[in-house]
Amino acid sequence: MASAKYDYVIVGGGSAGSAIANRLSADPTTQVLVLEAGIADHRWDPIITMPAALGFPVGNRRYDWCYATEPEPHMQNRRMRQPRGKILGGSSSINGMMYHRGHPADFDQWAAETGEPGWDYAHVLPYFQRHEHVLTADPEGIRGHAGPQILEPAEARGPLFDAFFAAASQAGHRVTTSINDHIQEGVAPAERMIHNGRRLSASRAYLAPIRARTNLEVRCGVQVGRVIMEGARAVGVSFRQGSGGEERVFAGEVVLCGGTMGTPHLLQLSGIGPADVLERVGVRVVLGLPAVGENLEDHLAVHMQHRCTKPVSLLAMRKKYRWPGFAAQWLLTGTGPGASNHQEATSFYRSDETQDRPDIMMSFAALAMRSEEGAQVDGHGYQLHVGVMRTEARGSVHLRSANPAVHPAIRCNYLSGASDRDRWVRGIAIARDLLGQPAFAELDGGEVLPGPRVVEPDEVMAWISRAAQTGLHPSGTARMGRGENSVVDPRDMRVHGTSGLRVVDASAMPSLTNGNTYAPTMALAEKAADLILGNTPLPPVDVPGRASRPSVAVPTE
């Protein structure tokens, strides 16, 4: 075996990769190398640091891998955009900055699905706490107050937010201070990965403060093309930097943090995956592992928009001549419209009483943003971003070529879940009920999207299939678990059948959580760091009212 220069090489300096790099390099005698395909995340680049600029990096190849799906059969055969961050910090450098832990039952489900009690809510909660530094009220005493990820609450003030909270109350929904407590259901001001008016990405939270560590090397612009295997053991990676030739680096362990698209792509390029998929493109099978690239799960989302009768929305944000003023204010003071992501209220609902936890997510903005559809609110307006959680739809990420530069074929199979249709129809009805409450009476200038002609369930579904976009939460393509339908051992994040090869990112989620996926990815990474280092995991947090939760049956391997 070639001599290893590093103890760990981490592929992908994204969200999970930043956290793992920080934790693994805490011991100064451990040598860690991070290889990131994208650019460095410069502090002075407003495209990634100014929260209101959140739309700009998306679809821009300088920051985004710009993946697209194959034609989606239930979405009018559209090839749908699948943005992923290609920059230090990964998707956390280009995401919407909304912070959702997920529902406690999501993690109990992880434990049940993996057969590993250590992934239930009580055991994952201390890792959320280790990650967080909340500036929100913490009435239940279950938040983190000293972690690297500072989280600021949105102000969510003004006539439109006042109307939204009042309407929620009128419609009988719970209005609360945070949806990140034990009870997720309800309507609350958003918590965001923003600090002092700037995006606080994973790389800013976890890597920037430890830049002085001499045992940690971070290289950007390096796309890893293959994991070097000696038999079943990973010994290093091969990569290219810019237009240079192939280089190799050897390490005691390889930790893949390439994300839901990047990680299964790299495993398959390395000969680890479903034999038929690899053979079709001429990649030699090193280890047949059928679940690599399968179980892709994503949320789907639409925007509903209304005209506003009064000049109380953030319409000014859409006026280009106002941008220099906003940018100057933001630069000098870290305040003003530039300092917000504008989705300042967030909420969870159950599509009907049979759901054991919320399955509809909505975020409210006091601004009708540029729409993917032709129809658009010209003047003042407001919008609800609506998504359905927990679909049964599953897709895949498959090699299309043995050339690492060719994007894999991505199929999400949106709307193929058995209950998707009914729950989407009910979700849109809940949204309309909310926006139709008396609290909005004086502000409502009429629904523009989907519009008054979209009424019957078939019409609603036709609109969803025409207009909906990715909810931006793909996961599960290297899921933890035991048995054929999994890739990663939930006890130590090792790829089944290998040694020296681990996966830590959103691809390892056994199932998609209720809400946005940054927070659960980071809690997963925090816990994975302890598993990799062999540390005693943090003790479970005693969760009031949940002591009687049935214990997890652990299947044998």
Ligand X SMILES: Cc1cc2nc3c(=O)[nH]c(=O)nc-3n(C[C@H](O)[C@H](O)[C@H](O)COP(=O)(O)OP(=O)(O)OC[C@H]3O[C@@H](n4cnc5c(N)ncnc54)[C@H](O)[C@@H]3O)c2cc1C
Binds ligand X by CB under 6 A, chosen from 12, 273, 337, 358: 12
Rounded Cα distance between 250 and 35, Å, is 12
Binds ligand X by CB under 6 A, chosen from 51, 96, 387, 450: 96
Binds ligand X by CB under 6 A, chosen from 6, 9, 10, 16: 16
Tell me: does residue 148 bind ligand X (CB under 6 A).
Answer: no
Tell me: does residue 11 bind ligand X (CB under 6 A).
Answer: yes
Tell me: does residue 9 bind ligand X (CB under 6 A).
Answer: no
Residue number with CB closer to ligand X (221 or 451): 221
Compute the least distance from the CB of residue 447 to ligand X, in Å. Answer: 25
Coil/strand/helix, residue 407: coil
Q: Which stretch binds ligand X (CB under 6 A): 86-94, 111-119, 246-254, 413-421?
A: 86-94
Q: Which stretch binds ligand X (CB under 6 A): 12-20, 126-134, 280-288, 529-537?
A: 12-20
Q: Write the burial class of residue 411 (CB in 10 Å: 0-12 exposed, 13-18 middle, 19+ buried).
A: middle
Residue number with CB closer to ligand X (17 or 271): 17
Q: What is the DSSP letter of 510?
A: S
How distant is the alpha carbon of residue 534 from its chain centre?
Answer: 27
Amino acid at 295: N
Residue number with CB closer to ligand X (437 or 477): 477
Compute the least distance from the CB of residue 484 to ligand X, in Å. Answer: 23
Which residue's C-beta sits nearest to ligand X?
A: 14
Phi, psi of 380 (to 5 degrees): -70, 145
Compute the least distance from the CB of residue 224 to ligand X, in Å. Answer: 4
Q: What is the dihedral of CA 139, 144, 148, 154, to 10 degrees?
A: -20
Binds ligand X by CB under 6 A, chosen from 63, 107, 364, 518: 518
Binds ligand X by CB under 6 A, chosen from 6, 9, 15, 119: 15
Identify the active-site residue in 100, 133, 342, 473.
473
Residue number with CB closer to ligand X (18 or 465): 18
DSSP string, 318-331: G-GGGHHHHHHHHH
Do 357 and 349 meet the contact criterion of CB atoms below 8 Å apart?
A: no
Coil/strand/helix, residue 152: strand
Q: Which stretch binds ligand X (CB under 6 A): 78-86, 113-121, 141-149, 425-433?
A: 78-86
Judge whether 131 counts as a catalytic residue. Answer: no
CA distances (Å), origin 113, targets 288, 293, 493, 554: 22, 18, 15, 9
Do 392 and 417 meet the contact criterion of CB atoms below 8 Å apart?
A: yes
Compute the least distance from the CB of residue 169 to ligand X, in Å. Answer: 25
Compute the least distance from the CB of residue 89 to ligand X, in Å. Answer: 7
Compute the least distance from the CB of residue 324 to ligand X, in Å. Answer: 25
Q: Which stretch binds ligand X (CB under 6 A): 8-16, 120-128, 354-362, 386-394?
A: 8-16
Tell me: does residue 351 bind ligand X (CB under 6 A).
Answer: no
Do 250 and 228 meet the contact criterion of CB atoms below 8 Å apart?
A: yes
Do 133 and 145 meet the contact criterion of CB atoms below 8 Å apart?
A: yes
Angle at 100 between CA 210 and CA 410, to 5 degrees: 90
Compute the least distance from the CB of residue 488 to ligand X, in Å. Answer: 13
Terminus-to-terminus CA distance in the chain, angstroms?
Answer: 30
Rounded Cα distance between 252 and 236, Å, is 8
Compute the least distance from the CB of residue 396 to ligand X, in Å. Answer: 17
Amino acid at 122: A
Compute the least distance from the CB of residue 56 to ligand X, in Å. Answer: 11
Positions 24 through 43 that interact with ligand X (CB under 6 A): 35-38
Q: Which stretch binds ligand X (CB under 6 A): 87-95, 105-113, 171-179, 435-443?
A: 87-95
CA distances (Å), origin 323, targets 212, 305, 320, 330, 443: 36, 23, 5, 10, 26
Positions 430 through 489 that interact with ligand X (CB under 6 A): 472-473
Positions 247 through 276 that interact with ligand X (CB under 6 A): 257-260, 262, 266
Compute the least distance from the CB of residue 15 to ligand X, in Å. Answer: 3
Q: Which stretch binds ligand X (CB under 6 A): 77-85, 306-314, 447-455, 492-500?
A: 77-85
Do 373 and 449 meet the contact criterion of CB atoms below 8 Å apart?
A: yes
Tokens at 317, concatenated: 């944000």
| Residue that has been written with the tokens 């959320």 in this structure | 128
Do 216 and 6 meet the contact criterion of CB atoms below 8 Å apart?
A: no
Note the maximum CA span of the chain. Answer: 73
Binding flags for ligand X, 272-311, as an x/- string (CB under 6 A): ----------------------------------------
Binds ligand X by CB under 6 A, chosen from 106, 120, 294, 505: 505
Do 25 and 213 meet the contact criterion of CB atoms below 8 Å apart?
A: yes
Binds ligand X by CB under 6 A, chosen from 9, 52, 94, 552: 94
Size of the site for ligand X (CB under 6 A): 42
Do 315 and 367 meet the contact criterion of CB atoms below 8 Å apart?
A: yes
Positions 194 through 233 that interact with ligand X (CB under 6 A): 223-224
Do 25 and 270 meet the contact criterion of CB atoms below 8 Å apart?
A: no
Do 526 and 119 meet the contact criterion of CB atoms below 8 Å apart?
A: no
Binding flags for ligand X, 375-414, as an x/- string (CB under 6 A): ----------------------------------------
Rounded Cα distance between 520 and 516, Å, is 8
Compute the least distance from the CB of residue 182 to ligand X, in Å. Answer: 19
Nearest to 259 by CA among 215, 310, 296: 296
Tell me: does residue 516 bind ligand X (CB under 6 A).
Answer: yes
Tell me: does residue 517 bind ligand X (CB under 6 A).
Answer: yes
Helix (H) or strand (E) holding 269: helix 259-269
Catalytic site positions: 473
Q: Which residues bind ligand X (CB under 6 A)?
A: 11-17, 35-38, 58, 83-86, 90-92, 94-98, 100, 223-224, 257-260, 262, 266, 472-473, 505-506, 516-519, 521
